[in-house]
Amino acid sequence: MADLKRVYAAVDEDTALQELERFDEIWGEKYPKIADNWCDKWVHLSTYFKYPQAV
C-alpha cells in the first residue's frame, strides 16, 4: 500500500506520525488493526528515525 509506505519512508518521525494519522483517516475504517498495531508498537518501529537518513 502506497499510503503505508509514506509512513515508513518519511524523512523524520514527526512526518511519519502525520502520515500514519493520514493513513488511519483513509484506511482505518476498512483496516482498523493496521494503524492500531503501528501505534501500539511505535516505540519500536520508530527507532530507525534516530539514525541518519543515509543509513
Tell me what the mean pLDDT of segment 34-55 comes to.
88
Q: Which three cell numbers stand for residue 6?
A: 509514506
**Is 38 inside any structural domain?**
yes
Average pLDDT, stretch 2-20?
Answer: 93
Query: What is the tally of structural domains in the chain?
Result: 1
CA 47 vs. chain centroid, Å, equals 12
Does the pLDDT at position 42 exceed 90?
yes
Asked if residue 16 belongs to a domain, the reply is yes
Structural domain includes residue 55: no
Q: Do residues 35 and 27 make contact, with C-beta atoms less than 8 angstroms apart?
A: yes
State residue 43's pLDDT score.
92
Residues 13, 49 contacting (CB under 8 angstroms): yes
> Is residue 9 classed as helix, strand or coil in its secondary structure?
coil
Q: Higher-confidence residue: 16 or 48?
A: 16
